[in-house]
C-alpha cells in the first residue's frame, strides 16, 4: 500500500499562570501543516513487514517550554520551525520461533525563525546588562530531543518446552546520534552525546498460563545519558539522568 497525506492542525494557546512578566503572560496557538508519503508492505504471507515514510512538518508559532531561574517557568512561541525526515521499520519472522525487527529514523529538525532570552545568561554572554546581546537568535538551531539519526534492532526467540510452557528471550540495541536538550544548543552544556544502549529480557510462561516469571538487564553498557535539563539559580544546570545499568526479576500470577 502506498499513501500520501496532507493535513493541518493546531494546538490551543493559553496562559502562563504565575508569570510576573506581562510579555510572558500568554502564548499563541501553534499551527502545523504536514505532508507524508509512505508505503506499507507485507510479504511471504505476512512473515515480512517493510514500512517506509518520508515527511515534512511546517510549524508556525511552535510552542516550547522554558524554565526560568527567578520566576515561574513558561511556554513561549517560536516563530517558525520545520521537521523533515524519513523513517523505516521492518520485521522478519525467520521461523515460528525466531524474529528480527527494528526501525531507523533520519531527521532534520530546526528552528527557522526564533529569538529568545537565555536564563543561563540573563545579562547576555558578556555579563553586562543593556548591551544589546540579551536576546539570542536561535534560527537554524536544532529542536530539542531531535537526533539526526536513531535506530533500534531486536532479536526475539520463543522456545517451547516439552511440558507446554514457553520461554521468550529478547535482545535489542538502540543507538542515536548527538542531540540537544535546550533550544540554545550550547556545546557542551546543552548537548547529549551519541550513545548506544542495549537490553536483554526473558519471560517464562507456564503451560496453563497461570503464572509467569520475567527478568532482564537494561542499559548493559551503563551509559550516562541525560534525559532533560533544567536551569537553576544562579544560572546553573540541573540534569536529570536516565537509569544506569539495572537488572530486574519478577513473578506474575493470572486468575
The per-residue DSSP string of 49-69 comes to EEEEEEEEEEEEEEEEEE--S
CB contact at 8 A, 166 and 159: yes
The C-alpha R_g of the chain, in whole angstroms, comes to: 23
Alpha-carbon distance of 66 to 75, in angstroms, equals: 6
pLDDT of 69: 56
Residue 237, judged by CB atoms within 10 A of its CB (0-12, 13-18, 19+), counts as: middle
Check: CATH 2.40.170.20 for 2-253? yes
pLDDT of 117: 80
CB contact at 8 A, 116 and 76: yes
Q: For the segment 14-46, what is each residue's pLDDT rounded down to a tens digit?
A: 887 777 777 777 788 899 999 999 999 999 999
Residues of the chain with pLDDT below 70 are 67-73, 122-133, 233-235
pLDDT of 179: 97
Alpha-carbon distance of 95 to 49, in angstroms, equals: 14
Domain residue spans in the chain?
A: 2-253
The half-sphere exposure of 79 on its side-chain side, counting CA atoms within 13 A, is: 10
Q: Would you give the DSSP letter of residue 187? A: T
Alpha-carbon distance of 237 to 241, in angstroms, equals: 12
pLDDT of 70: 57
Alpha-carbon distance of 183 to 142, in angstroms, equals: 7
Q: Would you give the DSSP letter of residue 250? A: E
Backbone dihedral angles phi then psi of residue 135, each to the nearest 5 degrees: -105, 140
Give the C-alpha distances (Å, rounded to integers) separating 196 from 88, 174, 175, 245.
19, 6, 4, 13
Backbone dihedral angles phi then psi of residue 73, each to the nearest 5 degrees: -60, 155
Amino acid at each position: 500500500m502506498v499513501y500520501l497525506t496532507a493535513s493541518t492542525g493546531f494546538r490551543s494557546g493559553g496562559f502562563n499562570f504565575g508569570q510576573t512578566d506581562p510579555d510572558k503572560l500568554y502564548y499563541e496557538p501553534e499551527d502545523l501543516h504536514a505532508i507524508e508519503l509512505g508505503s506499507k508492505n507485507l510479504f511471504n504471507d505476512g512473515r515480512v513487514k517493510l514500512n517506509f515514510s518520508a515527511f515534512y512538518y511546517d510549524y508556525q508559532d511552535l510552542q516550547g517550554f522554558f524554565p526560568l531561574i527567578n520566576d515561574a517557568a513558561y511556554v513561549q512561541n517560536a516563530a517558525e520551525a520545520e521537521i523533515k525526515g524519513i523513517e523505516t521499520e521492518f520485521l522478519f519472522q525467520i521461523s515460528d520461533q525466531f524474529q528480527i525487527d527494528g526501525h531507523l529514523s533520519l531527521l532534520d529538525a530546526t528552528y527557522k525563525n526564533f529569538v529568545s532570552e537565555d536564563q543561563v545568561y540573563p545579562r547576555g554572554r558578556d555579563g553586562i546588562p543593556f548591551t544589546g546581546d540579551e536576546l539570542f537568535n536561535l534560527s537554524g538551531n536544532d529542536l530539542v530531543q531531535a537526533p539526526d539519526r536513531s535506530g533500534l534492532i531486536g532479536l526475539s526467540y520463543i522456545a517451547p518446552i516439552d511440558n507446554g510452557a514457553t520461554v521468550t528471550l529478547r535482545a535489542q540495541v538502540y543507538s542515536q546520534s548527538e542531540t540537544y536538550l535546550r533550544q540554545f544548543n550550547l556545546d557542551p552544556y546543552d548537548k547529549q552525546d551519541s550513545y548506544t544502549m542495549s537490553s536483554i529480557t526473558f519471560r517464562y510462561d507456564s503451560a496453563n498460563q497461570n503464572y509467569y516469571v520475567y527478568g532482564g538487564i537494561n542499559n548493559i553498557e551503563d551509559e550516562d545519558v541525560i534525559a532533560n535539563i533544567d536551569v537553576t539559580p544562579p544560572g546553573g544546570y540541573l540534569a536529570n539522568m536516565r537509569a544506569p545499568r539495572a537488572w530486574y526479576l519478577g513473578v506474575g500470577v493470572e486468575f
